Structure 1
C-alpha cells in the first residue's frame, strides 16, 4: 500500500496530462458530494483557459483515472475548470498573470491595499494606487514578503486584454 497522500498521487498522475495541454495544474481538491466524491481540478495558463481545453482535459483525465486505482472504489464526479476571476494569488506566476489587474492585498504590517499591478519581478510588485478625492494615482513598491494575502478584484468596466489588442 502506498504511503503517498492521495492528492500527491493524483498530482503525480495528472500533472503530465495537464502539461501536455500547455496548462498549469493549480489545485486538486477531493471532497464529498452526498454518497459520491467530487474531484475538482483547477488549471490555468498565461492566456487563460478556454472551455474546449477544459473539456478535452476532462476526457483525458477521466481515461487516465479509469486506467488506474487513483480514485479507489466508488463513484466520483470530475470537474475541470479555471480558477475564476477573483482567485487568490499565491504563486509568482499568478501575480505575473494579473499584471494590469486591480488587486486587493492584505499586508502583514500595513493593513489592506487596493492597487493595480504595473510590473512583477522576483522580489515583488510595482503598483499604481488609485488617487482619492480627485488626486492623481501614485506608485508604490510592495515586496512579496510584505504580502499576507492577495486576490484579484473584479472590475465590471475593465477592458479585456483581447479587446485592447483588437
Structure 2
C-alpha cells in the first residue's frame, strides 16, 4: 500500500513545489497514521506542512482510498535525523553519518552507526569504526541520518 500511496501523492506534493522525502503508513483502524515527510531547498515551515496536508487530504478524498476518515494525516519536515529509505537518499548524504538497523544480522550485528561511504546499486557502504560493511537497502528495518553538532562555540 505505501507504494500505491506514494505514486498517488508524490505528484500532489511536487506540484506544490516540494519533494516527498518519505511516506509511512503505520497502525490500523482508528489508530492508523499516514505520515508524509516533505523537503524543500528553502526549508520547511508550518505553513508548508499545512498547505501539503490540505492538498493531500483532498487527493485522498477524491481517490477514495478506502481508508475513509479512519487515519490521522501528519505532514512534517524530515528533520536533521531524517529517514533514509532509498539509494537516492543515501547518495545525497555520502560523507555524512547514519544509524542503520537491519532486519537480519550482517557480520553478526543488526545495528550500525557510521559514515556513508558509497552507494552501489541498492547496497550502502557504511564505514563503522575500524570496519566497512555493505548493507542492502532492502534488508534495512530503519535508517536515519545522524546529525553531528560541532562543540566549537
Q: Which has the higher strand share?
A: 2
User: CA 1:157 to 1:56, structure 2 compared with 1: closer, same or farther past 3 Å?
Assistant: same
Which residue number corresponds to residue 24 of structure 1?
A: 20
Which residue number corresponds to residue 82 of structure 1?
A: 77
Would you identify which runs of 4 or more consecutive aligned residues in structure 1 move more than 6 Å? none
Is 1:97 the equivalent of 2:96? Answer: no
In 2, Cα distance between the equivalents of 1:152 and 1:127? 13
How far apart are 1:116 and its partner, in Å?
Answer: 1.8
Given the alignment, which residue of 146, 152, 157 partners 2:144? 152
Which residue number corresponds to residue 10 of structure 2?
A: 15
Is residue 126–residue 134 contact of structure 2 (8 Å, CA) maintained in 1?
Answer: no
Residue aligned with 2:27, SS: strand
How far apart are 1:60 and its partner, in Å?
Answer: 0.9
Where relative contact order (Cα < 8 A, 6+ residues apart) is larger, the structure is 2
Q: Which structure would you say has the larger Rg?
A: 1
**TM-score normalized with structure 2 length:** 0.61
Which residue number corresponds to residue 113 of structure 2?
A: 114
Which residue number corresponds to residue 56 of structure 1?
A: 51
Unaligned 5+ residue runs, structure 2? none
Is residue 108–residue 146 contact of structure 1 (8 Å, CA) maintained in 2?
Answer: no
Is residue 103–residue 151 contact of structure 1 (8 Å, CA) maintained in 2?
Answer: yes
**TM-score normalized with structure 1 length:** 0.58
Is residue 26–residue 32 contact of structure 2 (8 Å, CA) maintained in 1?
Answer: yes
In 1, Cα distance between the equivalents of 2:21 and 2:27? 18
In 2, Cα distance between the equivalents of 1:127 and 1:55? 36
Aligned length: 144
